[in-house]
């Protein structure tokens, strides 16, 4: 695992909340955009590196949704809609996801978006893990922290989200 002294708003938040974490950096390129390639780049099993997907409910009153699922998995939109309690959800197109979050695809992190009006849903498979790895809020950096701390900080709801 690549280790480097790295600081940004996510690591400052984790420091302030006294959360144990590890930063994993890698050389970002279009080939390391997908979570499975990121896992390979940081030397972790792909099931432990979760990607953050932005979804929108087809209900104007609903806040945007962050769905965290394991790198190799596919988001099941029907399961996500059921978890959210709406009839239908759709993936936000890349440009819309970047506009909503203010972050680039490949660097969207639930920890960088606390108190920004997103509903956070975490695939229930995370319950089998002690530690989880998510984006540190920018391309080329991941943060590994206890699952319980991620759930507590993001107020994530656990649900079955994958196909």
- Inform me whether the pLDDT recorded for 103 exceeds 90: yes
- Inform me whether the pLDDT recorded for 19 exceeds 80: yes
- Render the burial of 98-126: b for 16+ CB within 10 Å, e for the rest: bebbebebbbbbbbbbeeeebbbbbbebb
95: its two tokens: 């440009």
- Inform me whether the pLDDT recorded for 105 exceeds 60: yes
Between these two residues, 161 and 60, which has the higher pLDDT value?
161
Question: 28 near 137, Cβ under 8 Å?
Answer: no
Residues 29-82: tens digit of each pLDDT: 877 778 999 999 999 999 999 999 999 999 888 899 999 999 999 999 999 999
What residue spans define the domains of the chain? 9-157
32: its two tokens: 């390391």
Residue 29 has what pLDDT?
A: 85
Q: Which of 10-14, 61-65, 131-135 has the lowest mean pLDDT?
A: 61-65
What global pTM score does this model have? Answer: 0.93
Three-state SS across 139-154? CCEEEEEEHHHHHHHH
Which CATH number, 3.30.565.10, 3.40.50.2030, 3.20.20.70, 3.90.960.10, labels domain 9-157? 3.90.960.10
Between these two residues, 59 and 95, which has the higher pLDDT value?
95
- Inform me whether the pLDDT recorded for 161 exceeds 70: yes
- Inform me whether the pLDDT recorded for 84 exceeds 80: yes
Average pLDDT score over the chain: 94
């Amino acid at each position: 695992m690549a280790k480097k002294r790295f600081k940004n708003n996510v690591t400052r938040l984790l420091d302030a909340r006294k959360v144990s974490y590890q930063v994993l950096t890698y050389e970002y390129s279009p080939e390391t955009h997908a979570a499975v390639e990121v896992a390979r780049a940081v030397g972790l099993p792909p099931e432990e590196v979760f990607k953050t997907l932005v979804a929108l409910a087809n209900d104007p009153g609903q806040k945007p949704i962050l769905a965290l699922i394991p790198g190799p998995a596919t988001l099941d939109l029907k399961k996500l809609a059921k978890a959210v309690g709406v009839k239908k959800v759709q993936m936000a197109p890349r440009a819309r996801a970047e506009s909503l979050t203010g972050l680039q695809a490949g660097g969207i992190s639930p920890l960088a978006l606390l108190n920004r009006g997103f509903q956070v849903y975490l695939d229930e498979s995370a319950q089998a893990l002690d530690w989880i790895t998510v984006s540190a809020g920018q391309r080329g950096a991941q943060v590994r922290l206890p699952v319980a701390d991620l759930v507590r900080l993001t107020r994530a709801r656990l649900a079955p989200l994958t196909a």
